[in-house]
A and B are shown apart, each in its own frame.
Chain A
Amino acid sequence: MSEITADVIASHGFTDAEYAKVLEIMGREPNMTELGIFSVMWSEHCSYKSSKKWLKTLPTEAPWVICGPGENAGIIDIGDGQAAVFKMESHNHPSYIEPYQGAATGVGGILRDVFTMGARPVANLNALRFGSTDHPKTRHLVSGVVAGVGGYGNCVGVPTVGGECEFHASYNGNILVNAMTVGVADQDKIFYSAATGAGNPIVYVGSKTGRDGIHGATMASVEFSDDSEAKRPTVQVGDPFTEKLLIEACLELMQTDCIIGIQDMGAAGLTSSSFEMASKGGVGVELDLDKIPQREADMTAYEMMLSESQERMLMVLRPGTEARAEAIFKKWELDFSVCGELTDSGHMVLRHKGEIVADLPIDPLALASPEYDRPWVPTAKPPALDMASSPAPDDLMATLLAMMGSPALASKRWIWEQYDHMVMGDTLGHGRPGGDAALVRVHGSKKALAMTSDCTPRYCYADPVEGGRQAVAESWRNITATGATPLAITDNMNFGNPEKPEIMGQFVGCCQGISEACIALDYPVVSGNVSLYNETNGQGIHPTPTIGGVGLIEDAARSVGIGLTADDQDIVLIGESRGHLGCSLYLELIENRTDGAPPPVDLAAERKTGDFVRAQILAREISCCHDLSDGGLLVGLTEMALAGQRGVRIALPELSMPLHAWAFGEDQGRYLVATNDAPALLASAQSQGVDAVLIGKSGGSDIQISGVGTLPVDTIRQAHENWMPAYMA
């Protein structure tokens, strides 16, 4: 076994202080295997050492929260004894290095987090962020990532129903691939990871262990430089077919009472799964590495413990149930091996070829993992945009056309048509991709889950606190716009190098904003993931706290989509408009500038407006609804026209702002709805103190704005639908 030199210690990512702590815990010099185990357990990826302090400040409770952060996924009550189990996770670095496999294994990993808990996965979402469209790598990355997300999700047979796709130069060297899975479980069949009961058998199931992705977790915890592409580490290859079998086998076993604790092997594979299970259950572990199913000859203990081979799980079974469990895994043609047992030693002892190759105290290692209070500086608040500096465009309709055909707003159909978004037979017709939140019926019931992923990084960059609030508010709004009640979120915090105080300041600011919004909207955080060091050559990404939201509608038949459903309906704008153009997409696309403050989110107004809209949808006063976000009112209206395949006629109200600010301003907390009875809707809004104004009617085949101009919906559709296929051709 090699010697533990200063180089070896440094290459495992330890600071001097951290290594001193290793020595203190061990009371001796660790061997290579032990050092490797410390290194992955204390990596940023597994230990959350930079972020823990701030994550603890996020609100995580509500009466409907069954399990908050800390387990494989968050769990909420969705009534009738059922629960929704969900989480979002990043696979950014691997996807940059090998887009297909990186994205595919990202999907595989998040699926395991969810079915580990006893839930059948029912939906996947994916939030993708790529470099600018003219960067030479972007096309290749988009095509690989999308094929990988689809390749995995389609094969396992879980519908991919929503997501995001954005292009920005800050992601040129660090793309973001955030994958989310939502599952449904019976509340009395939820499984946790704690291992209890000395003497109980530990069982390994799934695929064999190979030398895949050793050091993946540490890789996800360091910054890139140009030569890291040359030093490409082994990339993991996903096997979605095995994952599908693993889902079925685990869910079948979960119908029995064999399992005491279960945990998937994710980052840092066997090491982190066994440590977490033991540490949560307060027990010791003894593993016989000769019993680990191995794909390759002569694997060392170090390699086995650090391998990130995919599609593997670790379980603790009730003694005597091994044969029953084994029969199920054999039926599904998966490896099954009793590879150790729990002890009361409080230590992890590894045996290999008749020798003890590692002996580590569990709690000190797991609980004493580093936690930093990294220095941070708050981001300076940008000054508000001076409206006088934003001249009116010559032709508003031409501007609209240009925006609808821009990479930011163009249809992402090219992506979602590569995803099976209907398998499992519960994706509602108006809840398919392309709307606000995706809608998937809870199988065999009238209920549906509403799911969305959101973040506006340009707001977060300008003002992390406001951007954090906005991401949560937009998520809440997207769910509300379908008629569902937003219940909880998972957050995927993607940031640059936390050792830089400005970056840490972005992180702290976003956490603060997220917290404020979660509290005001009763929309707690139940799971999440942090991806730091998204920097190349010192250039960080825009702060990107992706919010994955889940909501519930009791009667799916009352939910609505964004498409206009009939001619001659009244179109009503709900929420207050001030024409806020700071940090807007309009400024970026048309004026080629990114200054100003992002639109403020008035959380009280947000809640009041949203609650009003939802109640009107449930009362069937509204036939379709779309929240306003990127691009503002005119873009939202056009999206409703496109989805409904019909035009609109807008009668401009009296404006207290420039026309283009009215058209493209990104004021928050707003919805567009269509109704058969505008007077009644306006009266209810007024009685509840909600701003609402009639702006026009559906019908015809054009977007027609009185006194301004007319544009055929089909012309816009061409620009909107053609951009992405043309770009990818």
Chain B
Amino acid sequence: MKAAVIVFPGSNCDRDLQVSLRIATGNEPLMVWHGDSSFDDVDLIAVPGGFSYGDYLRAGAMAAKSPVMREIIARANKGVPVLGICNGFQILTESGLLPGALMRNAALKYICKDIHLRVETNDTAFTRGYATGDVLRIPIAHHDGNYFADPDTLDELEQENRVAFRYTNAQGEQSADANPNGSQHHIAGILNKNRNVLGMMPHPERLADAALGGEDGKRMFEGLVRAIA
């Protein structure tokens, strides 16, 4: 399986994702520079975290207009799996591949810490490595992760089972305390209609190595590889 990692000016989790994908796929991911409007066929497109264009104006806004995004949108529409993590999620909403928007954290502060997530559906390649209901410990690191969508969109997401992850406590229960950024419906990650695009704020690539404090994120990449390959 071959993955591509998209690098924007200001991306800074590109290497982290490259490492996780290299280990999971056994292949060197293709690193694609944002200015490239075409790149080789791949089985997975990953949009990493960071501060593309400094997150100036709005997180992800400028990267969403980059030449490479037109290509990514076209491939996503053809069914190629696209994974956006953190800034990648913000870019995917800004580009319209995913609905809603990621607003400033309710407490207005940047937050970097381990949180708990509940897997809401494993009916997508991205979460095949988990069982629905699994509770994961994975870090977040963002300033703008407060998921917002209008009521109709939220209903649609819920009805179509497109919420992939929700913030919970260690026991898998939702609560205001366990919602680190004020996201509506405690949403941490969502899927597009075709379930081939996933955006999530938490960073599975950061806890994919026991030495770094945990391996819950690793199962995501392993499951993805099994589902795609």
A residues lining the B interface (CB < 8 Å): 147, 150-151, 154-157, 239-242, 244-245, 332-333, 416-430, 432, 441, 556-557
List the A side residues contacting B53 at CB < 8 Å: 241
Q: 1/0 per residue B100-123: CB within 8 Å of A?
A: 000000000111110000000000
Specify which of B56, B212, B214 is in contact with A425 (CB 8 Å cutoff).
Answer: B212
Which of A151, A239, A416, A424 has most B Cβ within 10 Å?
A424
Within 8 Å CB of B10, what residues of A?
Answer: 155, 241, 244-245
Q: Is the CB of A240 within 8 A of B51?
A: yes
Q: Is B229 an interface residue (CB 8 A)?
A: no
- The answer for the CA separation of A231 and B127 in the assembled complex, in Å, is 58
**B126-163 with Cβ < 8 A to chain A:** 139, 141, 143
- B56 lies within 8 A of A241 (CB): yes
Known: A155-B55, A432-B213, A556-B211. A241 touches B112 (CB 8 A): no
- Which residue from A155, A429, A557 sits with its C-beta under 8 Å from B212? A429
- From A241, A432, A557, B51 is in contact (CB under 8 Å) with A241
State the CA gap A151–B10 with chains docked (Å).
Answer: 13
0/1 interface trace, chain B 201-218, chain A, CB 8 Å (1 if under) = 001011001111110000
Bound form: Cα–Cα A441–B113 in Å: 19
Chain B contact residue count (CB 8 A cutoff): 32
Is residue B84 contacting chain A, with contact meaning CB distance below 8 A? no
Q: A245 to chain B: which residues have CB within 8 Å?
A: 9-10
Interface pair B51/A418, CB less than 8 Å apart? no
Q: A240-B51, A417-B112, A420-B112 are in contact. Are A157 and B9 (CB under 8 A)?
A: no
Tell me the nearest residue of chain B to A429, going by C-beta: B213
In the complex, the answer to whether A425 meets B54 with C-beta atoms within 8 Å is no
In the complex, which residues of chain A have a beta carbon less than 8 angstroms from the beta carbon of B66? none
**Cross-interface CB contact of B15 among A154, A332, A424, A432, cutoff 8 Å:** A424
Chain B window 77-119, contacts with chain A (Cβ cutoff 8 Å), 1 for yes, 0 for no: 0000000000000000000000000000000011111000000
Given A241-B56, A441-B211, 4 more pairs with CB closer than 8 A: A417-B111, A423-B13, A424-B12, A425-B16
The minimal Cβ–Cβ distance linking A428 to chain B, given in whole angstroms, is 6
Bitwise interface map of B from 176 to 199 toward A, beta carbon under 8 Å scored 1, else 0: 000000000000000000000000
Instruction: Tell me, yes or no, whether B50 is within 8 Å of chain A by CB.
Output: yes
> Given A333-B9, A425-B206 in contact, is the A420-B141 Cβ separation under 8 Å?
yes
Q: Does B227 contact A (CB under 8 A)?
A: no
B42 at the interface (CB under 8 A from A): no
B19 at the interface (CB under 8 A from A): yes
- Among A151, A333, A429, the residue within 8 A (CB) of B214 is A429
Contact status A239-B54, CB under 8 Å = yes
Judge whether A422 and B212 touch: CB under 8 Å: yes
The answer to whether A157 touches B12 (Cβ under 8 A) is yes
Q: Once the chains bind, are B141 and A422 in contact (CB under 8 Å)? A: yes
B112 lies within 8 A of A421 (CB): yes
Distance of A497 Cα from B188 Cα, bound (Å):
53
Among B1-45, those with CB < 8 Å from A are 9-10, 12-13, 15-16, 19-20
Shortest beta-carbon distance, A558 to chain B, in Å? 11
Report the separation of the CA atoms of residues A394 and B205 in the bound assembly, to the nearest whole angstrom: 51
CB distance from B110 to the nearest CB of A (A): 5
Q: Would you give 26 A-B contacts (Cβ < 8 Å), ordered by A?
A: A147-B110, A151-B110, A155-B10, A155-B12, A157-B13, A240-B54, A241-B9, A242-B54, A244-B10, A333-B9, A417-B112, A418-B110, A419-B110, A420-B112, A422-B141, A422-B203, A423-B12, A423-B141, A425-B15, A425-B212, A428-B211, A428-B212, A429-B212, A429-B214, A441-B211, A557-B211
For B20, B139, B141, B211, the residue with the greatest tally of chain A CB atoms inside 10 Å of its CB is B211
Known: A245-B10, A428-B212, A429-B212. A422 touches B51 (CB 8 A): no
Q: Nearest-CB distance from B53 to chain A (Å)?
A: 6
CB-defined contacts of B214 to chain A, threshold 8 Å? 429
Question: Contacts A157-B50, A425-B205, A425-B212 known; A418 to B112 CB distance under 8 Å?
Answer: yes
Q: List residues of chain A with CB within 8 A of the CB of B51.
A: 154-155, 157, 240-241, 244
Give the residues in chain B near A441, CB-CB below 8 Å: 211
A518 CB to nearest B CB, Å: 32
Residues of A within 8 A of B55 (CB): 155
CB-CB nearest in chain A for B14? A157
A416 to B114, CA, bound (A): 13
CB–CB A418/B111 < 8 A: yes
Q: Which 8 A-B pairs have the closest CB atoms?
A: A157-B12, A429-B213, A241-B54, A425-B16, A155-B51, A420-B141, A420-B112, A418-B110
How distant is A290 from chain B, measured CB to nearest CB, in Å? Answer: 29
Query: Which residues of B from 44 to 85 have beta carbons under 8 Å from A?
Result: 49-51, 53-56
With A and B bound together, what is the CA distance between A607 and B209 in angstroms?
34
Contact A419 B16 (CB under 8 A): no
Q: A155-B10, A157-B12 are in contact. Are A425 and B110 (CB under 8 A)?
A: no
- The answer to whether B54 touches A422 (Cβ under 8 A) is no
Q: Give the distance in Å from the alpha carbon of A597 to the alpha carbon of B213 in the complex.
A: 42
Question: Which residues of the partner chain B approach A157 to less than 8 Å between Cβ atoms?
Answer: 12-13, 50-51
Residue from A239, A420, A441 with most neighbouring chain B CB atoms (10 Å) = A420
Interface centre among B16, B49, B112, B143 (most CB of A within 10 A): B112
A419 to B143, CA, bound (A): 11
Let me know if B211 and A422 touch, CB within 8 A: no
| A333 / chain B contacts, CB cutoff of 8 Å | 9
B110 and A420 within 8 A (CB): yes
A157 to B54, CA, bound (A): 11
Q: Is the CB of A418 within 8 A of B109?
A: yes
Determine how close the nearest CB of chain B comes to the CB of A100; give it in whole angstroms: 13
Residues of chain B contacted by A240 (CB below 8 angstroms): 51, 54
State the CA gap A422–B113 with chains docked (Å): 9
Complexed CA–CA distance, A557 and B210 (Å): 10
- Enumerate chain B residues within 8 angstroms of A151, measured Cβ to Cβ: 110
The answer to whether B112 and A419 have CB atoms under 8 Å apart is yes
Cβ–Cβ < 8 Å partners of B15 in chain A: 424-425
Question: Which of B13, B19, B206, B212 has the most chain A CB atoms inside 10 A of its CB?
Answer: B212
Q: Which residue of A lies closest to B16 (CB)?
A: A425
**B49, closest chain A residue (CB):** A423
Q: Are A429 and B110 in touch, CB under 8 angstroms?
A: no
Cα A670 to Cα B212 in complex, Å, equals: 28
A47 to B: closest C-beta gap in Å: 35
Across-interface contacts of B209 in A (CB, < 8 A): 425
- Which residue of A has the minimal Cβ distance to B205? A425
Q: Is B16 touching A424 in the complex (CB atoms < 8 A)?
A: yes
Q: Which residues of A contact B210 (CB under 8 A)?
A: 429
Asked if residues A154 and B141 are in contact (CB atoms below 8 Å), the reply is yes
A151 to B112, CA, bound (A): 12
A559 and chain B: residue at smallest CB distance:
B211
Cα-based distance from A417 to B109 in the complex (angstroms): 9
Cα-based distance from A244 to B111 in the complex (angstroms): 20
Contacts of B9 in A (CB 8 A): 241, 244-245, 332-333
Contact B109 A423 (CB under 8 A): no
Residue of A nearest to B141 (CB): A420
Q: How far, in Å, is B15 (CB) from chain A's closest CB?
A: 7
Q: What residues on A are CB-neighbors of B111 within 8 Å? A: 417-418
Q: Which residue of B lies closest to A334 (CB)?
A: B9
A146's closest neighbor in chain B, by CB? B109
Of chain B, the residue at the smallest CB distance from A427 is: B212
A421 to B139, CA, bound (A): 10
Cα(A237)–Cα(B113), bound, Å: 28
Instruction: Say whether B212 contacts A154, CB under 8 Å.
Output: no
> A residues within 8 A CB of B56?
241
Nearest chain A residue, comparing its CB with the CB of B108: A147
Q: B13 → chain A, closest Cβ, in Å? A: 6
* Nearest Cβ on chain B to A404's Cβ, whole angstroms: 21
Which of A418, A423, A428 has the largest number of chain B CB atoms within 10 A?
Answer: A423
Question: Which residues of the partner chain B approach A557 to less than 8 Å between Cβ atoms?
Answer: 211
**Distance in angstroms between the alpha carbons of A419 and B50 in the assembled complex:** 13
Cα distance, A332 to B211, chains bound together (Å): 34
